[in-house]
A and B are shown apart, each in its own frame.
Chain A
């Protein structure tokens, strides 16, 4: 499995605005499912289509941005509900990394745990990239997790991310399952130290 992620390269799509919440990314009615398999198509559904199902002007509808693998956003992206359906939808739509000014915490954690790097950069750098993407002059964008920088056209800027997430992407351990399971004996031992484990009730 290609679990190591040291860079993401591809065309970018920009969704502008602060505080884009997970209800906007994945409306609640699409949470009525027991698998994430088909959820990619509903990403930004109500921003992309009106009540009659007619497409609205939205970057995810723009033919020029189909096949994009990097999403560029502004501040506090992914705020609100903890629904993993939101990053799962973005991932399954085809996005492999998100560059933004800042991210809501649960959303960022969910992204990391499904192998979708989120990195932050300064307002000026993010907006510069968004402008280039919107004017379709950005070309191929490369996010380098090793060097913590973004390069497109003749431009390059530094990005930041939680060091823990970065190291998990670089060494391919972002899927925490195996790491956590390997300590199961220590977990059981710790449980014995917790006073409330013995109190029961009912």
Chain B
């Protein structure tokens, strides 16, 4: 019988069906970081359990790291305590730790792919909802909680209920200035932030097939923002080419064997999906998620919606969004002034993201009064960008060039909004209080759009800057 990639990976990793009806699923790759793992290690210590497969767990530090002064001990005692806990846990249980000294530290969802740890056909778990990112390789990747991290450490398995699979077909050619970020924001906007509950999303279609690995990572990263815990893309030549030569990818003959197996895991041509959604890429415009969830988005050319013009079920959410943002219903989104511009995160903190933003920034200046920062997704991204001179290009334009971490995506480190600041952000969530200040406001957009907003001081259609070059 024809199977989806999801079915193939799930069935291969199913250890057994549990009495509850859930599946005990083997996890091929477990990634951990400092925020959600210390309690899990404490639990296995208390229960006198070991780590069953320490060679299948890898750690890095990202959420709490300061992006300016990284000297130890950190200025924040609590951050230092978490860092020490992770160092001790990795040492005690024999887990590889990509720390600062390794020069490979970074946001966990950037590190896994760039190390070649994330591979097609794997099950991946990490105590972070954006673990869906890794699905870009044709892996089935789950964000999990701390108790599940405990289970994975102790058994390399977790108990899960099988979701349905929805195919999201993206067809057509993206216009210049429209990016992978706009594709996923548009999908969330159309299907809603709850639309994916109970589903894994398979992203397919010619638009997706033409995307680079980094673009695919952006798409899968935000599946969770549409309610889908898992998002994935079938592996192909792009996937294989990306993996070749990565530190943890197989080498020589093993790589050829692996390639054949990876490609065999793709969904069969006649695989059946629970349902299907089609997005036309040809007509897609740059998106701006302006409200209090990533589904509340408009085209950059549009006006903010009037509550009376939307279906009744969206109205209350829209009124809540206006009550929080104080934006003007019916006003062009391009009128919204910004105070902060943030380029980075597991969604858009990779080299190609920084390059696209740099194209917009080159030869221009950040608008007066705007604080703009670039936070590379990893030390490797940072070095690669610096080798191309991107750091100098951004600095010359008035951006701050920082060290790698999650930074202002969730602001667990010192990078936070203040008061009523509005931030144009390449991250993934515009939730109330998300960027470290309960009254701060977040506009989600592509890195190029963030760069454009930084230059102009307000939301800007990046395409206008292309034509004026």
Contacts and interface: CB of A to CB of B under 8 A. Distances in A.
Interface of A: 17-19, 21, 23-24, 27-29, 31-36, 46, 51, 75-76, 79-84, 87-88, 102-106, 109-110, 113-114, 162-165, 167-168, 171, 173, 176-177, 179-181, 183-184, 186-188, 190-191, 193-196, 199-202
Contacts of B128: 81-82
B433 A80 contact: no
A107 B20 CA distance: 19
A163 B21 contact: yes
Contacts of B122: 196
19 contacts: A17-B316, A28-B410, A29-B412, A32-B76, A32-B78, A34-B42, A84-B39, A105-B197, A109-B145, A162-B161, A163-B20, A163-B21, A173-B19, A187-B52, A187-B156, A190-B15, A190-B26, A194-B13, A199-B258
A32 B147 contact: no
Contacts of A84: 36, 39, 127, 145-147
A76 B143 contact: no
A181 B433 contact: no
Contact of B317 (A19, A82, A193): A19
Contact of A164 (B20, B127, B158, B293): B20
Contacts of B246: 201
A161 to B, nearest CB: 12
A90 to B, nearest CB: 13
A196 B121 contact: yes
Q: Is the interface of B mostly helix, strand, loop or mixed?
A: loop
Given A18-B317, A19-B194, A46-B433, A80 B129 contact: yes
A186 B26 CA distance: 10
Across the A-B interface, give the 9 residue pairs with the lowest CB-CB distance, nearest first.
Answer: A110-B145, A84-B145, A32-B78, A164-B20, A199-B250, A34-B38, A46-B438, A201-B248, A82-B129
Nearest to A191: B26
Contact of A24 (B26, B82, B150, B432): B432
B115 to A, nearest CB: 8
B154 A177 contact: yes
A104 B18 contact: no
Nearest to B12: A194
Contact of A186 (B15, B127, B144, B229): B15
Nearest to B230: A105
A199 B316 CA distance: 53
A194 B47 CA distance: 29
B64 A105 contact: no
A64 B89 CA distance: 43
B239 interface: no
